[in-house]
Amino acid sequence: MSKEFVVAVCGATGAVGQEMLSVLEQRDFPYSKLVPMASARSAGKKVDCKGEEYTVIEMTEDAFEGVDIALFSAGGSTSEKFAPCAVKSGCVVVDNSSAWRMNDECPLVVPEVNPHDLDWHKGIIANPNCSTIQMMVALKPLHDEARIKRVVVSTYQAVSGTGQKAIEELENQVRRLMSGQPVVADVYPYQIAFNCLPHIDVFMDNGYTKEEMKMVNETVKIMGDPTIKVTATCVRVPVFYGHSESLNIETEEKLTAADVRTILAKAPGIIVEDYPEKKAYPMAINAAGEDATFVGRIREDETIENGINMWIVSDNIRKGAALNTIQIAETLIERDLVRVP
């Protein structure tokens, strides 16, 4: 990465935008100039990266002139409006919203899984859903080895996936409950403190939520295999950072639990933490702030011939959002793809 680039962080004052700045600094991303952008409401605020203070500018249609890479974390409607403007200005966009994920013209990428899909980008690359990303990191090595037929996934998702207001709502509800005061639910339809909500995003006509269908549809696109069957139940839990997932996997070829441990221990981006005799397994409190996807509770499903159960945990704001976005940008640089065709 000898060349340096002009990089814009769009949505720089939000939770994911702030994490992007942190990841850019920690990974010493090669930028010659950093341009933090946000809405008019946040323009003028100050942000820090690599020891320098930057003033946030308003995101406008002509704000991308001279920018090489734009990292978007500003919501779907904002991305739909401004990402094409950025591309028109000659900028490559890596977008963290759901706006472009299922667009046939836009690669949907997890760098450990399908970096080759970046080769056909047309200016906009989509970052997958947070819960899909960590699942893909763990599934791809197993699919390569034994071909996955079916996945049943149940998620336990942190409130940070909804944003800063959800974090504050959980904090406030816990304080009020512990002091004997009634709670108010504004972000979620019901109290989230000391509760679990089997409802993330809107319900669809088939009875699944939009979040659940994201996992179904994004898996097929990322893996490039329409034969993989996925069914999901997504649950919001009173955890601040870190999504947890229970996976039941059926493969065409037999994998033992020992096989899975060996395969995943060699896979990029994964830390196997599977020592039940020591009560060692992945937990959200340990994954928070970490880059890796943690896998444990690996065991054979004794009800089917080729079945594996496992437990996956990852920081949804880092690997599930900011880190994966920046890893995509790094991979674009490595593959000499920082250009608009």
- Walk me through the domains of the chain, giving residue ranges and CATH numbers: 5-128+321-334 (3.40.50.720), 132-315 (3.30.360.10)
Active site residues: 130, 243
Judge whether residue 276 has pLDDT over 80: yes
What tens digit of pLDDT does each residue of 32-57 get? 999 999 999 999 999 999 999 999 99
What is the pLDDT, as a whole number, of residue 1? 43
What is the pLDDT, as a whole number, of residue 249? 98
What is the pLDDT, as a whole number, of residue 341? 58
What is the pLDDT, as a whole number, of residue 248? 98
Quickly state the pLDDT bin for 340 (edges 50, 70, 90).
low
What is the pLDDT, as a whole number, of residue 148? 98
What tens digit of pLDDT does each residue of 185-241 get? 999 999 999 999 999 999 999 999 999 999 999 999 999 999 999 999 999 999 999
Three-state SS string over the chain comes to CCCCEEEEEECCCCHHHHHHHHHHHHCCCCEEEEEEEECCCCCCCEEEECCEEEECEECCCCCCCCCCEEEECCCHHHHHHHHHHHHHCCCEEEECCCCCCCCCCCCECCCCCCHHHHHHCCCEEECCCHHHHHHHHHHHHHHHHHCEEEEEEEEEECHHHCCHHHHHHHHHHHHHHHCCCCCCCCCCCCCCCCCCECCCCCECCCCCEHHHHHHHHHHHHHHCCCCCEEEEEEEECCCCCCEEEEEEEEECCCCCHHHHHHHHHCCCCEEECCEHHHCECCCHHHHCCCCCEEEEEEEECCCCCCEEEEEEEECCCHHHHHHHHHHHHHHHHHCCCCCCC
d(CA 186, CA 97): 22
What is the pLDDT, as a whole number, of residue 76? 87
For the chain, give the mean pLDDT: 96
What is the pLDDT, as a whole number, of residue 339? 76
Judge whether residue 259 has pLDDT over 90: yes
What tens digit of pLDDT does each residue of 87-131 get? 999 999 999 999 999 999 999 999 999 999 999 999 999 999 999
d(CA 265, CA 291): 15
